[in-house]
A and B are shown apart, each in its own frame.
Chain A
Amino acid sequence: MNAAILGKKIGMTSIFTEDGLQIPCTVILAGPCPVTQVKTMDNDGYAAVQIGYDEVSEKALNKPEMGHLKKAGVSPMRTLKEFRGLEKELNIGDQLTVEQFTIGDKVRVSGTGKGRGFQGVVKRHHFRGVGMATHGQSDRQRHPGSIGSSSYPSRVYKGIRMAGQMGNKRVSVRNIEVVDVMPDKNILFVKGGIPGCNNSLVEIIKL
């Protein structure tokens, strides 16, 4: 990993290549992210770099948070995130911008996927439902069917796919291509979709 940045998903659009192909892509408003803390093996037991994103007013933070940022000499930030394994040596106060990325880079984008609420097995696990619509069957079209046998094992195995909360958890998309970079506007274009709704926070890591 040799580049990382935090950003906000803005929305989707498409971009034309020179030979006329239309590529669907997502626009991300990313950075600039100041380094707020550098964790070292000696001091913290592991090496990592903490970066901030999304400037806010001082009122939005509490005193300990403000103190932490003041120590680093960084303006108030809504989000702080740690990254491990960055190849480049960074110091407190360094700015990470979209200039780390170039067109054609492969990146991993992680974020919180859209929440779907409590969903049944058909939507959540692509089950096909049970039975037919006719021949006396009723209320069986979106059911999970059997969840195991009876006297042996007399219980339901762990991990059986059932209805439940769907989405609203961390999702990563790996190996997607950077299609365009606009350093003056802090904007990245990546090919295809990325997790989350518009205006949600995403991490972008160069592979």
Chain B
Amino acid sequence: MNTMTLIDSLAKERAIEARKQKDGENFVEIPSFKSGDTVNVAVRVVEGEKERIQNYKGIVISRRGCGINQTFTVRKISNGVGVERIFPLYSPMLQSIEVLREGSVRRAKLYYLRGMSERKIRQKITK
């Protein structure tokens, strides 16, 4: 086996195993999604001893990296302020990623959405 793929599969195996152990029956596989999709990311938030799930909903504007180092950026408008969060795809802090709506865009990186109004963005990412 190619060494690079070997490393990658080992690291991925380990990351997914860790999430499976944490979630048990609630384990959700990582779906296939791309730039322009609207997703809901369930993030684990640790407050002291307790852990709860926080949902973060927005548009995927970029996916980068390969293998275990993949990350994706989700942008949303929160109280009139644009917010972008970068998540490592294989992070154990993500409980699930849910694709709410598939987008239709012609770019891999949607940085041009940054200056736009919500209405304009909606026009851009729908068919």
Contacts and interface: CB of A to CB of B under 8 A. Distances in A.
A54 to B, nearest CB: 15
Nearest to B22: A18
Interface of B: 3-4, 6-8, 10-11, 14-15, 18, 22, 44, 46, 67-69, 88, 90-93
Contacts of A199: 3
A12 B46 CA distance: 29
B91 A22 contact: yes
A182 interface: yes
A185 interface: yes
A22 B88 contact: yes
A165 B55 CA distance: 56
B11 A15 contact: yes
Contact of A27 (B10, B15, B18, B93): B10
Given A16-B18, A16-B90, A182 B10 contact: yes
Given A10-B3, A13-B67, A187 B88 contact: no
Given A14-B68, A15-B14, A20 B91 contact: yes
11 contacts: A10-B6, A11-B4, A13-B7, A13-B10, A13-B68, A15-B68, A16-B88, A20-B44, A20-B91, A20-B93, A182-B10
Interface string A157-189: 000000000000000000000001010010100
Given A11-B4, A199-B3, A18 B92 contact: yes
Interface of A: 10-20, 22, 27, 180, 182, 185, 187, 198-199
- The secondary structure that dominates the B interface is helix
Contacts of A13: 7-8, 10-11, 67-69
Contacts of B4: 11
Nearest to A24: B69
Contacts of A20: 44, 91-93
Contacts of B15: 15-16
A16 B18 CA distance: 9
A18 B18 CA distance: 7
A27 B7 contact: yes
B20 to A, nearest CB: 13
Nearest to A25: B11
A36 B125 CA distance: 66
A18 B90 CA distance: 12
B14 A180 contact: yes
Contact of A19 (B8, B11, B46): B46
**Which 8 A-B residue pairings sit nearest by Cβ, starting from the closest?**
A20-B93, A13-B11, A13-B7, A27-B7, A11-B7, A10-B3, A16-B92, A16-B15
Given A13-B69, A22-B91, 6 more contacts: A11-B7, A14-B68, A14-B69, A27-B10, A187-B10, A199-B3
